[in-house]
Amino acid sequence: MKTIVLASLSPRRKELLESIGLSFKVDPPAEYKELKSKSMSAHELVKQNAIGKAQSVAQNYENAIIIGADTVGAFKDHILEKPSSHEDAKRMLHILSGKTHEVLTALCLIDTETGIKQVAVESTRITFVEMSDHDIETYLLYGESMDKAAAYAAQGIGSIFVKSFDGDYFNVVGLPMYRLNLMLKGFDISLIDIVN
């Protein structure tokens, strides 16, 4: 059985894999610097970052499946990454208030034995309720915005502002589980057979 390696610092991705009883290793891509290009589409940006993370870790393993992932929010032509400051988080939440946006997660899986690589982007549409200035300021005080794409946690306090989901909830958390399983099947690995 190949070692499965999660090339990510995200505690939420780690928790999702642990929650199904998967045996895996965490090896964050320390050498990779995430792209922040304004000239790329959100789809292209998450794809390139997921590939970069997976490739930077893949070189350390001879017989493993590397999972690289990247998540961003997108509203029209705005890419909503992790906020750089309190003001940036506030700006993003004002953009999202009362609107529908997309959360995109790219997955890049690399089989280090064969060099075969698979890449996919999963999209979930989320509609927010209207948020008052008070709602936004108070939410920001809880501190869960700063390490989240689009400045909110759908699995945390931010859930009270989510009116509806169209797509995979786990994609919003940062790891679309059904898509991961489909991609692993491309390497003749089925999650149902290796979890406990």
Rounded to an integer, the average pLDDT of 44-67 is: 96
The token duo for 25 is 């290793």
Beta bridge pairs of residue 87: none
Domain count, the chain: 1
- Which segments of 70-168 does DSSP mark as H helices, in order? 86-96, 133-141
- Residue 56, domain CATH: 3.90.950.10
How do residues 16-33 score in pLDDT, each as one tens digit?
Answer: 999 999 999 999 998 898
Q: Which helix (H) or strand (E) holds 166?
A: strand 162-166
- Which segments of 7-85 does DSSP mark as H helices, in order? 11-19, 42-58
The token duo for 84 is 């750089």
Q: Which domain holds residue 134?
A: 3-194
Q: Which of 70, 133, 166, 188 is catalytic?
A: 70
70 carries an active-site annotation: yes
**pLDDT bucket at 34, cuts 50 / 70 / 90:** confident
How do residues 130-172 score in pLDDT, each as one tens digit?
Answer: 999 999 999 999 999 998 889 999 989 999 999 999 999 999 9
